[in-house]
Structure 1
Amino acid sequence: MEYIILIIALFICLYTDIKSRKILNIVTLPTIVFGLVYNIFTTGFAGFLFSGKGLLVGLGLLIIPYLLGGMGAGDVKLMAAIGALMGTSFVFYSFIYIALIGGVIALLLIIKTRGFTNSIKSLFFNVVFFRSNLGSIVLPKDIKSSISFPYGVAIVLGSLSTLIWGGF
């Protein structure tokens, strides 16, 4: 049952995040409540601990990027919902897939936006000069410094990857 709820919540969040760049509370909060209630109902206090720890780990994994302005609150709540529904190990393995998929998406967007040669130059200077600002010397000034994408896409793909392939 929890797999069906997870898949439904993921696809709704994928749709809304792509369409309006929002992950809605009307999806994440009921998923959190369902995860807690379902796990308590099926295994009692152990289910409460399972769901509660998963919720806290899911929340904890993305709270710092949220506080730094790198992502929205909906992304954090979606990870908390995944944790409440599926538990600690599932949300942690999902996070690894999510980070990898998000990194690939970000890299592709950087290459698309800045062009391949400018991306290579920037990477070279960031590595050689330990992420200093010297890379801006060789990059054109009119390039956008901020590239964003709906991170819910990476969250959905990473969670589905964990469903399909499991952990490492």
Structure 2
Amino acid sequence: MFIYPILFIALFISFITDIKERKILNIITLPTILYGVIYHSIANGWSGFLFSGFGFVVGFGLLLIPFILGGMGAGDVKLMSAIGSLMGAMFIMKAFVYISIIGGVISLFLIIRNRGYLDTVKNVGIMVPSLKDSQGNITLNEKSKDKIVFPYGVPIVLGTVLTIIWGGV
């Protein structure tokens, strides 16, 4: 199957660029989306086109609201769309469970490490509202403007790989 090599190349490059530059490149995600649609269309005709298209839409939709609220970058949304285009809607839904868990664990770890347990407990109630217009930054204390940021492409890549290894949750 020619899907996995393309997927792993896109994931690897996105992982590296997101860590180093805080960017997931269009030159990786857009051709990957196109490849997924073309591959599945050629392999399975109209049903393959629908499989890939629906995977694209689901991948896009899963991160659309966080993107609109400013808590997620456009590259993250496009990477999820590319994975959906290659692997289909059911795969991206299963992967999203791992992605969310990994992202949550990383966030909690960074909050606890940077601010301590007491501040973490105190700020749990304001974490979700603080994502609005934050571009992925979590404001821990309005007065100090401390922000914790991390590239969300990392949980996307790790969650996708775990889904390939272990399947769905």
Q: TM-score range by the shorter chain?
A: 0.7 to 0.9
CA distance in 2, matches of 1:84, 1:140: 40
Counterpart for residue 61 of structure 1: 62
1:6-39 CA deviation, whole Å, 9 max, x = no partner? 1110010000000000000000000000000000
CA distance in 2, matches of 1:140, 1:48: 48
The two structures, once aligned, show a CA RMSD in angstroms of 2.0
Which letter does structure 1 place at the counterpart of 2:31? Answer: P
Counterpart for residue 14 of structure 1: 15
Counterpart for residue 45 of structure 1: 46
Counterpart for residue 113 of structure 1: 114
TM-superposed deviation, 1:141:
4.2
Counterpart for residue 31 of structure 2: 30
Counterpart for residue 70 of structure 1: 71
Kindly indicate whether the alpha-carbon contact (under 8 Å) linking 1:75 and 1:151 is maintained by their aligned counterparts in 2.
yes
Which letter does structure 1 place at the counterpart of 2:119? Answer: N
Q: Which moved more, 1:89-98 or 1:110-119?
A: 110-119
1:71-91 CA deviation, whole Å, 9 max, x = no partner? 100000000000000000011
TM-superposed deviation, 1:3:
1.0
TM-superposed deviation, 1:116:
2.3
Q: Which runs of 5+ in 2 are unaligned?
A: 130-140
Counterpart for residue 135 of structure 2: none
Kindly indicate whether the alpha-carbon contact (under 8 Å) linking 1:114 and 1:143 is maintained by their aligned counterparts in 2.
no
Q: Percent identity?
A: 58
- Aligned to 2:148, the other structure's residue is in SS state coil
- Aligned to 2:168, the other structure's residue is in SS state coil
Counterpart for residue 79 of structure 1: 80
Cα distance change on mapping 1:116 and 1:78 into 2, 3 Å: same
- Higher Rg: 1
1:92-113 CA deviation, whole Å, 9 max, x = no partner? 1111110000000000010011
- Aligned to 2:151, the other structure's residue is in SS state coil
Q: Which runs of 5+ in 1 are unaligned?
A: 133-138
Cα distance change on mapping 1:140 and 1:90 into 2, 3 Å: closer
CA distance in 1, matches of 2:153, 2:112: 21
- Aligned to 1:23, the other structure's residue is in SS state coil
CA distance in 2, matches of 1:121, 1:67: 26
